Amino acid sequence: MTTDHGRVGRRDLLRASAAGLTAVAAPAPATRPAMPVSTAVGRQTLLYRESTGGSVTSSRDGSVLIAEVQGVLWRVPPEGGEAVRITDWDLEATRPVLSPDGGRLAVGGYRGGGFHLWTLRTDGSGLRQVTDGPWDDRGPAWSPDGSRLVFASERGGDAVTGTSFGLWTTTDADGGGAMRLTGGAYEDIDPVWWPDGHSVVCVRAAHTPDGGNDGGLALVRVPTGGGPGQVLRRVGKGRLLCPSVSPSGRIAYLHLSGTTASPSLPAARATLLVDGRAVTEGEDLAAAPPCWLGDDRLLYIADGRLRLRTLGAPGSVRDIPFTARMPVPRPRRRPRPFPRRSRDRCAASICPPSRPTAAAWPSWR
């Protein structure tokens, strides 16, 4: 993350976790969509088979799988195949999470100049804004009974500068107001409910004397009814990120270690751990919570692929291949080039600048 975690500001603290950045400094090559294929006049299609960063969620039985790829949500067949797009780029959806009954999604989305929470059905219909205001709201998680959401937010502070990120819960899953759970003394992010619905687990970053924070060295369990938090895991360096709790209370999370030159970039190495034991080695992990399917299977994104790992079964890891097709507008026709001039008459100030070729268009984003 950086050699000095205390210099990471409150917005940088969530940059890797909530914005879906890849968790290592030297990631696999970015997704390269195929050459555009014309689908209609003025349209072309980008083709994705990998995800740069992103996240993935699933229903408890694995029958519904939703992946975030390039800021768009896709429904992917559980065994892999052609993905169905359910949102557009204008929502910039991140961190989708399925409700316990598998019928609705909660996401963080950027629209109207701010990050807020939204819900929608798994076919993309019924989009509803849950939170509003001048503050950033990030990383929603459903309560076990599907009645509320918990999330991290800087709300409650100044409308321009915000405040320390703390935990909030909605009064119901469709909004209706928000109640503070933690805030002020710490930076709390990445909340997830404990299976009994009476507490949440989050990453806690302590403030430092220089006005920064330590990056997030502890996983803490906080009772929803009030009271002090219980430290579940602590590390001496690096940072913790993206906890996920199984139905029986097993905790999976990421440990980011190593450093990069820029404080805005994630750490150089990432490891997925379950109950304190590493279960991955050398995988290029996306900085997003893994999704439990029961108590012994984890769904996550690594090496740009949707990956399902069965714990306690050596070699029991498989990728879920997908093909996602995104129609986009075709670039405008290039203007007619200037007439060819001799070298001595063509000065750089009057010659037309070089323009990207059609082959370069898929990487315009």
Q: pLDDT tens digits for 82-139?
A: 999 999 999 999 999 999 999 999 999 998 888 999 999 999 999 999 999 888 999 9
Structure tokens belonging to residue 182: 């933690």
Mean pLDDT for the chain?
A: 81
Least confident of 136-150, 161-175, 329-343: 329-343
Specify whether the CB–CB gap between 57 and 106 falls below 8 A. no
The whole-angstrom separation of Cα 28 and Cα 254 is: 18
The whole-angstrom separation of Cα 328 and Cα 194 is: 41
Structure tokens belonging to residue 222: 């906080």
Strands laid side by side in the 175-180 sheet: 137-142, 149-153, 166-172, 175-180
pLDDT at position 66, please? 98
The whole-angstrom separation of Cα 107 and Cα 103 is: 14
The whole-angstrom separation of Cα 361 and Cα 365 is: 9
Task: Report the share of the chain in percent with pLDDT over 70.
Answer: 76
